[in-house]
Structure 1
């Protein structure tokens, strides 16, 4: 096979006709090493968290050994018995390998050996999986992705017991199981393997891991650089929605390391899939560090893998749960085993940041390798420091020039804004430019829906993505952002959306009491620009910090604008009249509208619309500067959903019809609390008396906020000049405001 790019060191080795690895490889050498194992054995009984982790894993593996080995003929989707059994097999085998090295108990090596030979006996005659939904069907599992999971873990198990096997046994496993397995997920499935995506990252790592164990140069090159002549049609697309290959696109592990990560460590598919992909990235990266240190994978792209761990931890709420950007399942958190791996490896092979130890302490488990030992020793020795999550702006795109995600935090996550102005996010992206979600501590105030999927629950579509993921979760109206003429951003077309991204206007978190992020989207709709500015503000006139939201729209034609707010909680009060239909009907016919019931419809009765709710024992009020012709729609999810695949979430939607350029201004205000134990209600009313857009033209937009105590503040935004050193002057109502920089927030003169 013709090789793609290759390092000078590899060329020298090839010219000398010598193997690329040491003639006699030591084992284990992937994740565990002989020196590392020796250190672990010498510390047994002296490092509490490590000892506890060993005992917990031992109990788990011993229970599986007692049950016996089952390698059933595959038939199920995820969630079914055969799927879960094969998954548990590879997870248990990897753990058994670590136990064998640490405890030197032959029963663990025998367990792995027997399991591998059961797979060897069945694999040579195994057809592709009978379930046909995937664009790349596996053999053990319904998709090649899970087959790759199997090989990543089994390579570690094989490495752990390598020296216990005879040459004849190793030859049999490698020729009948491992090489055919690697060929199947790569050469025989290039549409899965040879692209940039979290799927192919797992495939690349799987082929690379087993290549390192077997010292197979051809497989290793295939893992690092992909398949050069893959026979794929340029621009083809798979059923997962992503491009298979585009002209000039690289493939292989290094391409997957280069393209999806920004220089800040943000992964374009979003934190849910970054969490999933970090395991193969870090595990294969660590294996390369041990076996091929000259490749310097961990330092690739300015240490982007280690930066990725920090970015991931910063994309969590106060409870450690990842923000559900793009396809993301709510509730996934840094307690997942993938993040135990990430935290341990980042600590050991990064700068041993003591803040990571506090995350490991919460996880309460470590890896059974030298990185896990290092973390456990650090905790034992009292080196942990709190992991502080400050406001952060994470750039998207390979060069950091394709939008991003801004996270504004006030205090100890007392209020957290997540503002998405990123690139499309490959096939797992949603059509929701300039969308946001809002948290108070770990509680959602205004939510992002996340994905429409019940992972590994067989009764819900075999645990796979449901059709409602496309008809609802990915749509624009499903998010807290602007929909125009009931159409999705980029008409919901992946090819168009992938060509564009929003642009940061400015980001400023220098003043903890006024933190601002502002971005512009010019391509989501024809001849239309959306400019959204969001500020987390703590003012003396308010009990808690609040969020100011300004959405300025410039369009050459009149449109219908829909701006929803998906609140979490029980409606308390409002200041507008509305009618509730006797028979609920969908709000529209397509683009997500077909899933929304219209529960109420009204109009503003004054220049401000206020809407309050109670959620998780806290009060919230949305105050919006509305126009008399606006419509106020109370919606609830669930229409055209006969299988009850969607949550029954609610929203208040502001609809503005027959309008060209316009500006929406709103404040989301947390206030007070309610205790069901004491039955005490504190500060249940909003502190805002009036919210007014006092000036709005091409150059400046100004919003005044009056509180119930008679205090007035003003926020002025420069719409065309975001330079920090530009001086501005604006006269309004006989008063002159002067400031430097893109915005002013101050008490009104």
Structure 2
């Protein structure tokens, strides 16, 4: 139901503004060039933008689309409903639309000078100012930090970050009585509510608190409230919260030094490379408040030199995030991550523009902005639009790289190996990071593989339908904790059907994997590897992945060597989550008459066991077809090893999980072991001509010929009769160390972490 302001106390305020409404719709330069705006838009940038309007295609097109959207919202009337719903519900969606439309209306008022946009913001803010004092916390009690307008303070912070920008744009247009009223009854109490009244939300190191810090900081800058700004930058003092305490959402309240606030959220989650420990999905979400507040601080508090902070980590973070995408620009779903989220999202439009403007205006960022085909409506977007108009863009080439994790870059990393030519764009991603705070998954040394932007071997990502009200109000589904976060949901080794760290957040947060080797200097042979010593007591993992481009093969192939060391016997499972249709297997696949779950807990209860076979050979081969491309996994086995075919969906009565298949290699009653495989794309199927080209694997077998403490060696035998030998140095990755090793009758000498010939 549409609401209209009917409260008596507001009538006088609205009456006092009537003369403002009677002015001509065009505002002169002298009237607008006062102290505001001074956050994102400034007096100088507004004047510069106006001088270019009509001659900058991308900016003009973005502005026109925004104007069309806001004009429609104004025509529909102001609607400030009583909060009731979870994410995706009517009231949630309406309040979200309100802050978005207000922010855009503020920009339109400044750039076009039409007072109808200022009136729209003012009238809506007066409605919110009347509503706010009447509200307790949101009636939905699911969040550890219930908000006012939304079910969680996180969304209330979104509201304040965007609305602060709108308020800044009309601050000098408002009569002082009205701005004082809004400051006193809405904005100052709102900032207090998000901070001192909700310290477990505000004083965290987490993307939630980043939004909260920035919300308080943005409105502090508008109101010139230094006490609020100090609170935003450095957190609450004397909050009586244990720095090591965990909140209900599983996030650490403060960083390791007991600090909180915006600077703590810059210091702790970001590595020196710009990787954000929660993963790219939440880095994408957090980049908007990080970057928009940085722009505001640069404009209003230049002495902080925010874009130079921590060696320019915010600018590095944008580059890191762009590199954490596949060929289609979609983010790798590490930790909690929804698939399909890409750098076309509005937060990355803002981040790219800001990074371009406040960085060194690198032309590679312009190519990303060109693909986004929209800009932020401020000085940064103007600079990008002018650069595109002048044709300055250059390709943003994603290269193989390692992005370290941890505030000092010493808590593991994400490794990315890439190969691109006319035949394929292959991307291999290996995760050997820290836990990733409350959004972290229990999957040390996991990996995923992409070809031309399509998943070949997948990371499941999160279990959630964001903003789909029918699915748990748009929030996380219970299967996120019962399956998606568990180790079996990922392509890595599980011991005794128990997740890494026994699925314990405190334990997992104390440890990280150790980087071992990363070398992408030779595009024909790229290698990365890491070790994990804490996932299970008295068990160590060492995984090495190699991307090889053989001149005799059309596409690169992947060598995967996973070494397990333990003093006692265990069961080890290594799943490969593939997509598509099984074409052929070297083992028998007898399906049971009735499906049963693979296990009872730790995610196994959500996997249907579709087939179970014994290898009965020293290697197995599994071939499938996806997107008209043939793929094969060829693995070394012992005769008694098992191969299981499984599919997600067991014990899932509400169909919250996707029905995705997996092939699982299992070793039983084994202490130390080596999983050695080759993963290979090798042919295509043409559905029109109904022809299969190169449908058979080019590899005949994979054999472990040596496994000891210092070295592991495997032989890859090809159908052509050729063979390849890979020797891994397990103890010394130094690229200058000389090695001499005898295998059988042959002696091998080499320098560095590996030998491949």
Taking structure 2 as the reference length, the TM-score comes to: 0.95
The aligned residue for residue 682 of structure 2 is 671
Mapped partners of 2:131, 2:561: distance in 1: 61
| SS of structure 2 residue aligned to 1:318 | coil
TM-fit CA distance, 1:704: 1.2
Count of matched residue positions in the alignment of Structure 1 and Structure 2: 723
The aligned residue for residue 15 of structure 2 is none
Contact kept in structure 1, 2:205 and 2:251, CA below 8 Å: no
Unaligned runs of 5+ in 1: 1-23
TM-fit CA distance, 1:679: 2.6
Does 2:119 align with 1:105? Answer: no
| SS of structure 2 residue aligned to 1:168 | helix
Does 2:201 align with 1:163? Answer: no
The aligned residue for residue 82 of structure 1 is 91
Does 2:527 align with 1:516? Answer: yes
| SS of structure 2 residue aligned to 1:319 | coil
Contact kept in structure 2, 1:541 and 1:709, CA below 8 Å: no
Mapped partners of 2:153, 2:607: distance in 1: 36
Structure-2 change in CA distance of 1:246 and 1:368 (3 Å): closer
| SS of structure 1 residue aligned to 2:307 | coil
Does 2:548 align with 1:548? Answer: no
| SS of structure 2 residue aligned to 1:577 | coil
The aligned residue for residue 49 of structure 2 is 40
Unaligned runs of 5+ in 2: 1-32
The aligned residue for residue 209 of structure 2 is 200
Aligned counterpart for 2:73 among listed residues 64, 73, 86: 64
Does 2:346 align with 1:337? Answer: yes
Structure-2 change in CA distance of 1:233 and 1:258 (3 Å): closer
TM-fit CA distance, 1:243: 2.3
TM-fit CA distance, 1:238: 1.9
| Cα deviation code 1:440-482 (max 9, x no counterpart) | 1101000000000000000000000011000000000110000
Aligned counterpart for 2:577 among listed residues 566, 569, 573: 566
Does 2:384 align with 1:371? Answer: no
Aligned counterpart for 1:481 among listed residues 472, 492, 495: 492
| SS of structure 2 residue aligned to 1:578 | coil
The aligned residue for residue 218 of structure 1 is 227
The aligned residue for residue 15 of structure 1 is none
The aligned residue for residue 502 of structure 2 is 491
Aligned counterpart for 1:148 among listed residues 157, 175, 184: 157
Contact kept in structure 1, 2:416 and 2:428, CA below 8 Å: yes
TM-fit CA distance, 1:230: 1.1
Does 2:271 align with 1:262? Answer: yes
Aligned counterpart for 1:189 among listed residues 187, 191, 198: 198
The aligned residue for residue 100 of structure 2 is 91
The aligned residue for residue 542 of structure 2 is 531
The aligned residue for residue 455 of structure 1 is 466
Aligned counterpart for 1:131 among listed residues 124, 135, 140: 140
The aligned residue for residue 12 of structure 1 is none
TM-fit CA distance, 1:606: 2.2
Mapped partners of 2:172, 2:562: distance in 1: 64
| Cα deviation code 1:323-371 (max 9, x no counterpart) | 0000000000000000000100000110101000111111010011010
Aligned counterpart for 1:620 among listed residues 631, 637, 643: 631
TM-fit CA distance, 1:401: 0.1
TM-fit CA distance, 1:239: 2.0
Mapped partners of 2:335, 2:255: distance in 1: 23
| SS of structure 2 residue aligned to 1:672 | strand
Does 2:738 align with 1:727? Answer: yes
Contact kept in structure 1, 2:84 and 2:91, CA below 8 Å: yes
Contact kept in structure 1, 2:331 and 2:342, CA below 8 Å: yes
Contact kept in structure 1, 2:243 and 2:258, CA below 8 Å: no
TM-fit CA distance, 1:178: 0.2
The aligned residue for residue 294 of structure 2 is 285
| SS of structure 2 residue aligned to 1:552 | strand
| Cα deviation code 1:251-296 (max 9, x no counterpart) | 0000001000000000000000000000000001110000000011
TM-fit CA distance, 1:245: 4.1
The aligned residue for residue 651 of structure 2 is 640
Does 2:513 align with 1:502? Answer: yes
The aligned residue for residue 439 of structure 1 is 450
Q: Is the deviation greater in 236-245 or in 79-88? A: 236-245
Aligned counterpart for 2:621 among listed residues 603, 610, 616: 610
Aligned counterpart for 1:427 among listed residues 438, 448, 451: 438
The aligned residue for residue 16 of structure 1 is none
| SS of structure 2 residue aligned to 1:85 | helix
Taking structure 1 as the reference length, the TM-score comes to: 0.96
Structure-2 change in CA distance of 1:734 and 1:358 (3 Å): same
Mapped partners of 1:25, 1:663: distance in 2: 70
| Cα deviation code 1:468-514 (max 9, x no counterpart) | 00000000011000000011100000000000000011100010010
